[in-house]
């Protein structure tokens, strides 16, 4: 009994994280089945799942590993298009929609992971703001490349080219990706259930990683690089591990996102989306995984919920963002808050002593 108690005590954070996600899923799924959600709310479910995964995976890099990355959407885009191509190619091969979606997610993750390795090798030699600008540059490069790719398939197989004319598709051929227009006529495979599974998978990977010796090493590198080296930790290897795992998860989220719409273009996966995801992470709390889950949900819904305000909604969002940053990070406010919490803490402690003895 004590053992179980102890287990809950040390793992309370993880249990709360999984618990909240599962409860939220069950409630939303019930409401959705009972037809109590409007069409637009139903439409948000999958993108929210994708953004939660994106925020959690970026938190692994920004919060846990301590590297500012401004190109996360690039990996999302790579995953989205790899996933769309995979799903299109498996049409007629794998009958189950769910099976094709899972394959697409996996391929999306693997391709984005490979992109992560290619980007990570040069990027992780740099530090601080320089690392930030290079990830931004890579994000734009990835967007630029996928925005100019033409992919089609016919009986002979998959063809890749840099313009529509060069595709030379045979009879019955089908264009899957057409450059700047992106993917059109995508079969929508993503479901809320799949999104839920992906979130659970992401939480499992990220939380386990954080609580292992690998995670400790990654955090050690963040806290003090030189000290980490001095105790035998290969700094570059661990920054790389965090970066690639993060890219892999972002790719899966991208595939989920891409297969939720009938048309997706590369312009979606640029700097602005990277910044949106970063905002989720920072407002949710650096290194705080549950915080990322909650803030991705709230901040995705917030502008949508303010649709009634029409033109004013984005300006309000901007004001809210600035105010939240000022109130949570300003040294002066922090000072005041610490005094307040210390006083409150004192009151609670006294009470606890009183009730226990």
Partner 1 sequence: MNEYSRKMLKVPTYNLLREQDMGKLPVLDVRNLGIDFGGLTAVDSFNITIGPTEISGLIGPNGAGKTTIFNLLTGVYQPTRGSVLINGIDTKGMPTHKVNKLGIARTFQNIRLFSEMTALDNVKVGMHNEIKCSFVSSLLHLPSYHKAEKAANEKAMELLDFMGLADVANVKAGSLPYGVQRRLEIVRALATNPSIILLDEPAAGMNPSETMELMHQIRRIRDTFHIAIFLIEHDMNLVMNVCEAIAVVNYGRIIAKGTPEEIRQNPAVIEAYLGKEDGE
Partner 2 sequence: MGFLQYLINGISIGSVYAIIALGYTMVYGIAKMLNFAHGDVIMVGAYMSFCVTNYLGLPAVVGILVAMVVCTVLGIIIEGLAYKPLRGASSLAVLITAIGVSYFLQNAAQLIWGSAPKNFTSIVTFAPIKLFGGQLTITGEVIITILASVVIMVALTLFTGKTRMGKAMRAVSEDRAAAQLMGINVNQTISMTFAIGSALAAIAGVLLCSTVPTLQPTTGSMPGIRAFTAAVFGGIGSIPGAMLGGILLGIIETMTKAYLSTQFSDAIVFLVLIVVLLVKPAGLMGKVVQEKV
224 binds, among partner 2, partner 1, none (CB under 5 to 8 A by kind): partner 1
The answer to whether residue 1 forms part of the interface with partner 1 (CB under 8 A) is no
Shortest Å distance, C-beta 310 to partner 1? 44
Residues 251 and 108: beta-carbon distance below 8 Å: yes
**Binder of partner 1 out of 93, 165, 171, 226 (CB under 8 A):** 226
With a CB cutoff of 8 Å and minimum separation 6, the contacts of 9 are none
The answer to whether residue 325 forms part of the interface with partner 2 (CB under 8 A) is yes
Torsion, CA 333, CA 303, CA 198, CA 61, rounded to 10: -40
With a CB cutoff of 8 Å and minimum separation 6, the contacts of 186 are 84, 87, 88, 258, 259, 261, 262, 263, 264
The answer to whether residue 313 forms part of the interface with partner 1 (CB under 8 A) is no
**What DSSP character marks residue 94?**
B
Binding mask 201-240 for partner 2 (x = CB under 8 A): -------------------------x--------------
| Spatial distance between the Cα atoms of 209 and 40, rounded to a whole number of angstroms | 36
- For residue 152, the cross-strand partners are 159, 175
Binding mask 112-131 for partner 2 (x = CB under 8 A): ----------x--xx--xx-
| Spatial distance between the Cα atoms of 284 and 261, rounded to a whole number of angstroms | 27
Shortest Å distance, C-beta 52 to partner 1? 19
The answer to whether residue 341 forms part of the interface with partner 1 (CB under 8 A) is no
Closer of 126 and 209 to partner 1 (Cβ): 209
- 3-state SS assignment for residue 42: helix
**Binder of partner 2 out of 158, 322, 336, 339 (CB under 8 A):** 322
The answer to whether residue 62 forms part of the interface with partner 1 (CB under 8 A) is no
The answer to whether residue 209 forms part of the interface with partner 1 (CB under 8 A) is yes
Phi, psi for residue 174 in degrees, rounded to 5: -135, 135
Shortest Å distance, C-beta 157 to partner 2? 25
Shortest Å distance, C-beta 331 to partner 2? 5
Q: Which stretch, 1-9, 44-52, 190-198, 214-222, contacts partner 1 (CB under 8 A)?
A: 214-222
- Please report how the helices 271-284 and 128-146 are oriented relative to each other, as an axis angle in degrees rounded to 10: 140
**Binder of partner 1 out of 97, 229, 276, 304 (CB under 8 A):** 229
Closer of 187 and 224 to partner 1 (Cβ): 224
Closer of 221 and 278 to partner 2 (Cβ): 278
C-alpha 333: how far from chain center: 30
For 14, what's the count of Cα atoms within 13 Å in the CB-facing half-sphere?
Answer: 16
- List the structure tokens of 52: 């939660």
Please report, for residues 118, 134, 272, the alpha-carbon distance to residue 138 in angstroms, rounded to integers and kept in the order given.
10, 6, 14
Shortest Å distance, C-beta 29 to partner 1? 27
37 binds, among partner 1, partner 2, none (CB under 5 to 8 A by kind): none
The answer to whether residue 133 forms part of the interface with partner 2 (CB under 8 A) is yes
The answer to whether residue 241 forms part of the interface with partner 1 (CB under 8 A) is yes
**What DSSP character marks residue 268?**
G
Closer of 100 and 239 to partner 2 (Cβ): 239
- 3-state SS assignment for residue 191: coil
The answer to whether residue 232 forms part of the interface with partner 1 (CB under 8 A) is yes
The answer to whether residue 200 forms part of the interface with partner 1 (CB under 8 A) is no
- DSSP H helices, 60-184, are 72-90, 97-123, 128-146
Q: Which stretch, 27-35, 236-244, 249-257, 331-339, contacts partner 2 (CB under 8 A)?
A: 331-339
Closest CA to 111 of 254, 209, 208: 254
Please report, for residues 42, 172, 303, the alpha-carbon distance to residue 309 in angstroms, rounded to integers and kept in the order given.
21, 48, 9
Q: 142-181: which residues touch partner 1 (CB under 8 A)?
A: none
**Residues at the contact surface with partner 1, assessed by CB under 8 A:** 205, 208-209, 211-217, 219-220, 222-224, 226-235, 241
């Amino acid at each position: 009994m004590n053992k179980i108690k102890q287990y809950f005590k040390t793992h309370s954070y993880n249990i709360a994280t999984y618990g909240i996600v599962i409860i939220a899923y069950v409630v939303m799924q019930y409401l959705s089945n009972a037809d109590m959600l409007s069409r637009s709310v139903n439409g948000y479910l999958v993108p929210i799942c994708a953004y939660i995964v994106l925020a959690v995976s970026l938190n692994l890099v920004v919060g846990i590993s301590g590297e500012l990355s401004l190109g996360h959407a690039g990996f999302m885009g790579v995953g989205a298009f790899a996933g769309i191509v995979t799903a299109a190619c498996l049409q007629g091969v794998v009958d189950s929609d769910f099976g094709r979606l899972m394959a697409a997610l996996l391929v999306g993750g693997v391709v984005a992971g490979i992109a992560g390795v290619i980007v990570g090798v040069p990027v992780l030699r740099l530090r601080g703001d320089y690392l930030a600008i290079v990830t931004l540059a890579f994000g734009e490069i990835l967007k630029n490349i996928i925005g100019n790719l033409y992919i089609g398939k016919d009986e002979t197989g998959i063809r890749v080219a840099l313009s529509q004319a060069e595709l030379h598709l045979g009879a019955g051929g089908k264009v899957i990706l057409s450059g700047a227009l992106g993917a059109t006529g995508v079969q929508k495979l993503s479901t809320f259930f799949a999104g839920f599974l992906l979130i659970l998978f992401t939480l499992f990977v990220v939380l386990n990683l954080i609580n292992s010796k690998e995670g400790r090493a990654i955090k050690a590198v963040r806290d003090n690089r030189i000290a980490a080296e001095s105790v035998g930790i290969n700094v570059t290897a661990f920054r790389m591990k965090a970066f690639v795992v993060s890219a892999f998860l972002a790719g899966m989220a991208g595939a989920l996102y891409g297969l939720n719409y009938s048309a997706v273009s590369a312009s979606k996966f640029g700097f602005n989306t990277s910044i949106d995801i970063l905002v989720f992470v920072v407002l949710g709390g650096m290194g705080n995984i549950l915080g990322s889950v909650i803030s991705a949900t709230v901040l995705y819904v917030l502008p949508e919920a303010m649709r009634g305000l029409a033109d004013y909604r984005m300006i309000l969002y901007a004001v809210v963002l600035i105010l939240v940053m000022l109130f949570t990070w300003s040294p002066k406010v922090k000072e005041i808050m610490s005094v307040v919490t210390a006083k409150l803490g004192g009151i609670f402690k006294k009470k606890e002593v009183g009730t226990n003895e």
